[in-house]
Amino acid sequence: MTTPIEFHAFLGPEVNGVTLASQAVLELSDPVGEVMPRNISAPGNRQRLAAELKHCRSLTSDCTLYRTISGGQGVLFDLLALGQARRVGVAKTVLHHHSYAYLNEESWLHRQAFALAGPDATHVVLAAEMGEALKGRYAIAGPIVVADNLGLIDLAEVPHHIDLADSERVSIGILANLDAAKGGVDFVQLAELLLIEFGDSLNVEIAGPIADELEPSVQALVRRFGSQVTLWGRVGGAEKAEFFSAVDLFVFPSRYRNEAQPLVLYEALLAGCHVLAYRRGAIASQLATFAQAETVATFDELLASASATVTSLSERSPAERVEQRQTAKGAVSAEQSNRVVDLRGLFDRILQP
C-alpha cells in the first residue's frame, strides 16, 4: 500500500524555472502514489495565508509531505506547514531547494524550518555543491539527494524540439526578465561592443520583459543598429522555439546573487546553442559537462569569450553551423534522457517512507 503524497509547490499561474520544475516533479510523483497537489503560489500574503491554512488541514499522520522551500520571506508559510506536519506526525517529509538565498547568507527562519522538518527529512538539491552548502550552513543530518533540473525539462512545458535556422549572420541572444540583476546591463554593453567589432555580420536577439530602467539603453541599441537587433518580448511555446533557433550563442550574464541552476541554460543547450554564463550558484557544475558551454567570472572574460566564439562561428558556413548544432543537440538530449530515468527512480524512492 502506498502512502498518499501532500504535494506543496509553486505551480503557477506565473511561469518561471521553479514552477516549471515543480510541475515536472508533480508528473514524476503521480505514479508513485496518490498525489494531492497544493499550489502555494498566491497573489498576496492574505490569500496565501488562507490557502496555506487550508493545505495544513489536509496533513495527516499517514501522508508524505513534499514541499518546495521558499527563498525569502515565504519561509514563514513553510514554518506554518512544517509545524503542522510535526504536530500531526506525517510519515515522511521531503523538502525541495531551488534557491541560494539562504545558502549565501544564513537565515534564522530557515534554520527553524529545517529544525521543524526534523533530522529524518529528505532534502532535494540541484547540485552536489548546493547540498554541501546546505549541510555546512545548517548541519543537516538527514539524507541529501541531487535532482538536476535537466532531468525535469522533458516533463515540463518547454520547447526543445527545434528546427534550426540557417542565417548567414551569427547571432547572440538572451532570454530573461531583463534587469540589472539578471544581466541586462552587461548584455546590452556586450551586444554594443560586439556589434561594433563584427559589423553587419552579427545579429542580436533579446527576449523577455525589459525593466523600465533598462528600456532606454535597449532602445538606444535598436536605434543605432536597426534591424540587427530584434526585441522578442515575452516568448513561450513555438515562439520560444523560434527564438532559440535564431540564436547561435546564448549569453546569460546574470549577477543575481541567489541564482541556482537556471532552466533556461538547459533549454539553450537542448537547442544546440553555444552557452556563455557568469559563475553563479550551481551554474559552473551545471555547464561543466557540455563542450559548447563556458562560464566566466568577469565582464572582460565574458567579452573575450563571446568575441572568440563569434569569430569561430563566423568562419563556418550556415550549413556547418547547423550540423554542429544538431550534433550538440543530440549529445544533450541523450544526457537528458539518462537523467529523466534517474529522476524517476529517485522520486519513486524518496516519496515513500
Is it the case that residue 58 has pLDDT exceeding 60?
Answer: yes
Mean pLDDT of 131-155: 89
Structure confidence at residue 161 as a pLDDT band (50, 70, 90): low
Is it the case that residue 56 has pLDDT exceeding 50?
Answer: yes
Mean pLDDT of 294-302: 97
Domains of the chain: 5-147 (3.40.50), 170-334 (3.40.50.2000)
Q: Which of 12-21, 157-166, 204-213 has the highest average model confidence (pLDDT)?
A: 204-213
Is it the case that residue 31 has pLDDT exceeding 80?
Answer: no
Mean pLDDT of 218-241: 93
State the pLDDT at residue 77.
95
State the pLDDT at residue 1.
65
Q: What is the 3-state secondary structure (H, E, C) of the chain?
A: CCCCEEEEECCCCCCCHHHHHHHHHHHHHCCCCCEEEEECCCCCHHHHHHHHHHHHCCCCCCCEEEEECCCCCCHHHHHHHHHHHHHHCCCEEEEECCCCHHHHCCCHHHHHHHHHHCCCCEEEECCHHHHHHHHHHHCCCCCEEECCCHHHHCCCCCCCCCCCCCCCCEEEEEECCECCCCCHHHHHHHHHHHHHHHHHHEEEEEECCECCCCHHHHHHHHHHHHHHEEEEECCCCHHHHHHHHCCCEEEECCCCCCCCCCHHHHHHHHCCCEEEEECCCCHHHHHCCCCCEEEECCHHHHHHHHHHHHHHHHCCCHHHHHHHHHHHHHHHHHHHHHHHHHHHHHHHHHCCC
The region of weakest confidence among 45-54, 65-74, 128-137 is 45-54
Mean pLDDT of 79-83: 96
Structure confidence at residue 155 as a pLDDT band (50, 70, 90): very low
